[in-house]
Chain A
């Protein structure tokens, strides 16, 4: 654990040293000290928490709707037949490109933002759940049927648990997307949100505050990712191949 923190310590030290010794201009790179102060200032003013809450609400509402829709699509033949080709055709489209359109339709605010996140989260969840369900061994289905599992319960009791690891892998990708999409949508147009906050500070030249906001976002994204990995390991503790961990796997 301590060894893992070492690279970060080194990096922060290097950052502060290059600023302190005047190697880089303070206007272009505020020191660790001033960024920390700015961070505390943002916390005290409640500005950061307020905007973070708005952003997190959008990100997680979008993610939740995306997960639910994605699961429904991946496990229903009819829905897959219809939406499958549409999702496959639009996957290369940056979902941020839809923000201007959604602004026209729904105005600037939560709806525009959440809808963008939902669309972005759909693909990874659909694709991974679909492949996960497909990969469930026939033997398991046969045994479940032989033991008298009703058709209506096959999905919830057999297929989804058996493909859980694939679904969770998809959710992990979607989790990354939901932060990126929320923040870029907020940077394009929003009244609140941490993306907007960062951009405002950048434009007004309060770079220490801008750095503090960005680092807060990065920290939260990292914590959320770790949290999901922890949850995955807990949910899949019965699984033979729990292989989610650091970059090493």
Chain B
């Protein structure tokens, strides 16, 4: 590979960054201009600057952080439940033919089901507060986790399994010390796919059923035609999702350092 000149490299990086950012800047600019021009009523599209002003106001009143914490708590509590359950079920399905055969049709039936349709059932059983949301998130996320773990566990190298067995590893240790670490990358990919799903489910359930959280705040703002606040909550949801994904990627490269060696 030819050595690139540092200045050239910097210029290239700057160009790439500009190319990535310009559509966003353009959209923000058009938004602000259209909002100010009076072509549309501010009720439909308040200018960006007004939305930013509203953000400060809502922040001071504690109407962003508090509901966001509630929503994130629900999303991540549900996610943790789903990961624990999903990984366990996935591993067991891969190790035991009988259980695998039994659960496989159920999983492939449940996987494509639109879980949000179960909101009324969860409200009926668990009320409208934390519990029903956490369980709905878990119910939604458990299927992708099972599938990811199961697929990962099935691809563990036979040689690895044989050597472990030859060294007299008991079945339970086999699961926790050999198969689980070997399919960690797949589990992690599963978690990465599932984190946005968990957040989306929590937000949506709150929008549909109320019971606090940022989704409920959004619906509240819309019902009272506080359009700037509607935009603020949408942007907050977007940013919290982006941030979680970034954090997850950082965690992955830290936790799975050993994976790089294999390519």
Q: Are A98 and B234 in contact (CB under 8 A)?
A: yes
- Collect the chain A residues with CB atoms within 8 Å of residue B200's CB: 94, 96
- Collect the chain B residues with CB atoms within 8 Å of residue A83's CB: 23
Most chain B beta carbons < 10 A, residue from A96, A180, A247:
A247
Question: Could you tell me the distance between the alpha carbons of A92 and B234 in the complex, rounded to whole angstroms?
Answer: 11
A146 at interface, CB cutoff 8 A? no
Question: Could you tell me the distance between the alpha carbons of A86 and B31 in the complex, rounded to whole angstroms?
Answer: 14
Q: How far is the CB of B116 from chain A (nearest CB, A)?
A: 5
B119's closest neighbor in chain A, by CB? A187
- Known contacts: A104-B44, A218-B113. The answer to whether A199 contacts B120 by CB under 8 A is yes
- Known contacts: A89-B238, A247-B104. The answer to whether A99 contacts B116 by CB under 8 A is no
- Known contacts: A7-B103, A7-B106, A222-B109. The answer to whether A104 contacts B121 by CB under 8 A is no
Q: How far is the CB of B205 from chain A (nearest CB, A)?
A: 9
A150 at interface, CB cutoff 8 A? no
Q: Are A8 and B105 in contact (CB under 8 A)?
A: yes
Q: Are A5 and B105 in contact (CB under 8 A)?
A: yes
Contact with A along B173-206 (1 / 0, CB 8 A): 0000000000000000000000010011001100
A207's closest neighbor in chain B, by CB? B124
Binds A, one of B54-62, B239-247, B249-257: B239-247
Q: Are A176 and B238 in contact (CB under 8 A)?
A: no
The binding surface of chain A is classed by DSSP as: helix
Q: Are B105 and A4 in contact (CB under 8 A)?
A: yes
Contact with B along A208-236 (1 / 0, CB 8 A): 00110110011001101100000000000
Q: How far is the CB of B154 from chain A (nearest CB, A)?
A: 8
Q: Are B234 and A101 in contact (CB under 8 A)?
A: yes
Question: Could you tell me the distance between the alpha carbons of A90 and B199 in the complex, rounded to whole angstroms?
Answer: 14
Most chain A beta carbons < 10 A, residue from B117, B151, B207, B218:
B117
Q: How far is the CB of B197 from chain A (nearest CB, A)?
A: 10
- Collect the chain B residues with CB atoms within 8 Å of residue A97's CB: 203, 207, 215, 218, 233-234, 237
Question: Could you tell me the distance between the alpha carbons of A136 and B151 in the complex, rounded to whole angstroms?
Answer: 25
Q: Are B244 and A104 in contact (CB under 8 A)?
A: no
Q: Are B120 and A89 in contact (CB under 8 A)?
A: no
Among A79-129, those with CB < 8 Å from B are 81-86, 89-94, 96-101, 103-105
- Known contacts: A211-B121, A247-B107. The answer to whether A188 contacts B116 by CB under 8 A is no
B39 at interface, CB cutoff 8 A? no
- Collect the chain A residues with CB atoms within 8 Å of residue B227's CB: 104
Query: Which of B103, B108, B207 sits near A99, CB closer than 8 Å?
Result: B207
Question: Could you tell me the distance between the alpha carbons of A248 and B97 in the complex, rounded to whole angstroms?
Answer: 12
A184 at interface, CB cutoff 8 A? yes
- Collect the chain B residues with CB atoms within 8 Å of residue A207's CB: 124
- Collect the chain B residues with CB atoms within 8 Å of residue A249's CB: 151
Q: Are B24 and A81 in contact (CB under 8 A)?
A: no
- Collect the chain B residues with CB atoms within 8 Å of residue A99's CB: 207
- Collect the chain B residues with CB atoms within 8 Å of residue A11's CB: 106
Q: Are B44 and A86 in contact (CB under 8 A)?
A: no
Question: Could you tell me the distance between the alpha carbons of A28 and B132 in the complex, rounded to whole angstroms?
Answer: 14
- Collect the chain A residues with CB atoms within 8 Å of residue B237's CB: 93-94, 97
- Known contacts: A97-B234, A198-B117. The answer to whether A86 contacts B196 by CB under 8 A is no
- Collect the chain A residues with CB atoms within 8 Å of residue B207's CB: 96-97, 99-100, 184, 188
Q: How far is the CB of A240 from chain B (nearest CB, A)?
A: 19
Q: Are A92 and B117 in contact (CB under 8 A)?
A: no
List chain B positions with a Cβ less than 8 A from chain A.
Answer: 19-21, 23-24, 27, 43-44, 101-109, 111-121, 123-125, 147, 150-151, 154, 196, 199-200, 203-204, 207-208, 215, 218-219, 221-222, 225, 227, 230-231, 233-234, 237-238, 240-242, 244-245
A11-B106, A222-B112 known; 20 other A-B pairs, CB under 8 Å? A3-B101, A5-B105, A8-B109, A84-B23, A85-B21, A85-B23, A92-B240, A94-B199, A94-B200, A104-B230, A180-B115, A184-B204, A203-B120, A210-B120, A214-B117, A217-B113, A222-B113, A246-B105, A247-B111, A247-B150
